[in-house]
Structure 1
Amino acid sequence: MFGRIRQARSLEEYQDTLHWSPFVRLEVADGPQHNIAPGSQPIALHRLGPDGSDGAARLHWGYRPPWYKRRSHYVARLESMLRGSRIWHPLLRRRIIVPADGWYEWAGAANEARPWYVSACDEQPVFLAGVTAWEPGLTPCSEAGFVLITDTGGGMVDPARGRRPICLGHDAALAWLDYTLEIAEAVDVLAERRAAEEFRWWPVTPKLTSSPA
C-alpha cells in the first residue's frame, strides 16, 4: 500500500529536471523532507494561476470537501474519477505534479506490514500526478488540499495487493499540467505512466512507521 513520499532535493533541482521556470520560488522553503506523510505540505508544481504560467507551492496533502462528513482522502482512485465521482471529477481541471525522489509502500499482512522504498532506476526525480482544490491565494488546508492519483496496477513491491501512484515521465508530466487540455485529453496522458521495470525497491526500517498515515 502506497503511503508516503520523499522530497530530499531542492525546488531548483526539480525545476531543472522538468525544465520548469528557474524564476519560480516558494514562499516557505524548508530543507530536505525524507518522510512526508499525508497532512504535510510537500512541494507541488502547477499552472493554476490566471495566466497559466509555471508555479510552485507547498500544498496540503489531503482533501475533504466542505460538505464531506468523513476524513480527508490523500489518494484518489483513477477509476473513481473516470466514473464521474462528484468529489474527484470536478478536480480534473485542477491538475498538479508532485516531484519526489521516491515513495514508500507497505507490504505484508496487515499486522506485520513493513515499509519499502521505491525510486527510479536512473536515480532521477519522479513526477506524481495529482489534483487539487487549491488555487493561488488560498491558504493550504484540507478543504483546499490535494490528492495523488493511484491506479489498479497493484503495488510495486507486492503486485497482488495495494495500489501505486501514477508516475509520469518528463513529457507526460508537462502534458498533464497543460491547462488547455480538456479532461478527456488529460486522462489519456495518465495512460503514459512509467512501467514497473523502470523502478527499484528495497526494505527500510520499520521505524519509519508501522503503517501509512
Structure 2
Amino acid sequence: MPDEYFATVFTNMHKIFDPGDGLRFNVPPGTRPIVMHELAGTPTLERQFWGYAPPWYKRSPVSNARLDKILDNSPFWKAPTVHGRMVVPADGWFEWTGEKGDKQPWFIRPADGKPILMAAISGWREGAEVDKESGFAIVTDDSAGGMVDIHDRRPVVLTAEHAREWMDPATTVEQAKELLTVARPESAFEWYEVTRKVGNSRYQSEDSSNPE
C-alpha cells in the first residue's frame, strides 16, 4: 500500500500499487511511477510523469539525465537540479541486450535484496499538471565492471542516507552533485535474464522479474 511504501521510504518500480490499476510489474517511461521528494518542504510520496521536456523543448520527453551533463552545468538540466530533486524507489530495473527484433531483457537488482533509491531531477512545480513539463528524468552514469556487458549506462543509485540528503532542500547544488558521484558501485548489484514478454509494457505478470 502507498502508506507502507512511504513508511519504509521505498516502493517498487516494477511492482507499484495503484488504486486505479492495481499492481504493476512493468513500468516504462511515459507512465507515472511513484516518486519521493521534499520540494514543498515536507516529505511527499506521489505519482509523477516519467519523462521531462521544458516548454521550449520540441522533441520527445527525455527519460534519463546524464551525470556528466549535470556536473557540467548543462542549461537543460540546471533548473531541475536546483529546484527539482527527487528519488524514484525501486526493487531493480530492466535492461536489454541483443539485436533489434531479438532483444533479451535482464533484471538488475541489489545483491543484498534490499530496495534501491534512484536519483532523479524534474521540472516539478507546486500545483502543476502531472505531465512532461513537470516530469522527471532518472540520473544515469557510465556502467563499469560486468554490468557494462548488459548496458553502457546505469541509474545513479543512492544509499538511504544519501537519498535523504539529495531530497533535503537545505542541501546545496554542489553538495547534491557530490552525492551523485558516490553512488552505490556495480559490485553491489546482480543481474539475470527474465522473460522476453516484459518487452511489451502491457505485460504485467508477477513473473516479470523472475529468473528465466
TM over 0.5: yes
Map of 1:31 onto structure 2:
22
List runs of 5+ in structure 2 lacking aligned partners: 11-16, 202-212
- How far apart are residue 109 of structure 1 and its match? 3.4
Matched with 1:14 is 5
Alpha-carbon offset, residue 71 of structure 1: 1.1
Higher helix share: 2
Assess if the C-alpha contact under 8 Å between 2:36 and 2:87 holds in 1.
Answer: yes
Q: TM-score, normalised by structure 2?
A: 0.83
- Aligned equivalent of 1:174: 164
1:127 aligns with 2:117: yes
- Matching of residues 118-197 of structure 1 within 5 Å: 118-154=108-144, 157-159=147-149, 161-197=151-187
SS of residue in 2 equivalent to 1:91: helix
Matched, 1:44 2:44: no
Unmatched 5+ stretches in structure 1: 1-9, 20-25
Identity %: 35
Give the direction of change, closer, same or farther, for the CA distance of 1:105–1:27 in structure 2 (3 Å limit): closer
Cα distance 1:184–1:201, how it changes in 2: closer, same or farther (>3 A)?
same
The Cα RMSD (Å) is 2.4
Q: Which residue does 2:98 correspond to in 1?
A: 108
Q: Distance in 2 between matches of 1:155 and 1:37?
A: 25
Q: Does the CA contact (< 8 Å) of 1:107 and 1:157 recur in 2?
A: no
SS in 1 for 2:25: strand
SS in 2 for 1:144: coil
Q: Any idea what SS the aligned residue of 2:55 has?
A: coil
Contact 2:147 2:186 in 1 (8 A): no
Write the distance in 1 (CA, Å) between the matches of 2:166 and 2:6. 16
TM-score, scaled relative to structure 1 = 0.82
Question: Residues 109-161 of structure 1, C-alpha deviation per residue, up to 9 Å, x if partnerless?
Answer: 34533110011122221100001111231111011110000001259644484
